[in-house]
A and B are shown apart, each in its own frame.
Chain A
Amino acid sequence: NAGVTQTPKFQVLKTGQSMTLQCAQDMNHEYMSWYRQDPGMGLRLIHYSVGAGITDQGEVPNGYNVSRSTTEDFPLRLLSAAPSQTSVYFCASSYTTKGGSPLHFGNGTRLTVT
């Protein structure tokens, strides 16, 4: 199993550009989520999904869109990048959220917006 695969590893965008961060998992996990990590602020939840066709907002959803058309994939879209979105982005998945289940993280995408 590859686990959770994120692409790209690095990305530089200009303000106003759009892009999609890809996330795929091959563990048949119900739950998938996106976090951003900024110095001193831990991991903050952007969006999450409890199954195909279901998404919901996390703590910091503004400026980001997601969709979950399949169990395996959970892309994160930045519609109009802003310097405040410079961060490291992690995708994670878990078997279920009910009763708690370990999160499996991808290797992250380091995004810089100039």
Chain B
Amino acid sequence: GQQVMQIPQYQHVQEGEDFTTYCNSSTTLSNIQWYKQRPGGHPVFLIQLVKSGEVKKQKRLTFQFGEAKKNSSLHITATQTTDVGTYFCAGKEGMRFGAGTRLTVKP
């Protein structure tokens, strides 16, 4: 079945540094979704990408969907302590989640 791999598993950064998490699928995706889960919380939808090569921005967050629609990335510029949490990508209309990247930020 379709596998969604996400790296890195953990990332610890100093506040103000950038952060990137990568998501790769074994098969072509019709769309990809990104979620954020704060510690002790539940996943919250961030964005959905649908088109090949699509780039979307939300303030300091930049989301990209690869040309082949098999990979995606989330980049956070100048991290803040409020960015702490685990970021998940999901393919197949949310049926396949990556393992997540846990981001910690040192003030």
Contact = CB atoms under 8 A, between A and B. Distances in A.
Interface of A: 33, 35, 40-45, 48, 58-59, 90, 92, 94, 97, 99-108
B99 interface: yes
A33 B42 contact: no
Contacts of A45: 95-97
Interface residues of B, number: 24
27 contacts: A33-B94, A40-B9, A40-B99, A42-B88, A42-B98, A42-B99, A42-B100, A43-B43, A43-B90, A43-B97, A45-B97, A59-B95, A94-B94, A99-B30, A100-B31, A100-B33, A100-B48, A100-B50, A100-B93, A100-B94, A102-B33, A102-B48, A103-B94, A104-B45, A105-B42, A105-B44, A107-B42
B1, B9, B95, most chain A CB atoms within 10 A? B95
Nearest to B95: A45
A30 to B, nearest CB: 12
Interface of B: 1, 6, 9, 30-31, 33, 35, 41-45, 48, 50, 88, 90, 93-100
A90 B42 contact: yes
B100 to A, nearest CB: 5
Contacts of B50: 99-100
Contacts of B99: 40-42
Contacts of B33: 100, 102-103
Nearest to A43: B97
A99 B42 CA distance: 23
Contacts of A102: 33, 45, 48
A97 B93 contact: yes
B9, B90, B94, most chain A CB atoms within 10 A? B94
Given A102-B48, A103-B45, 14 more contacts: A33-B94, A33-B95, A41-B99, A42-B98, A42-B99, A43-B88, A59-B95, A92-B94, A102-B33, A103-B43, A103-B94, A106-B42, A107-B41, A107-B42
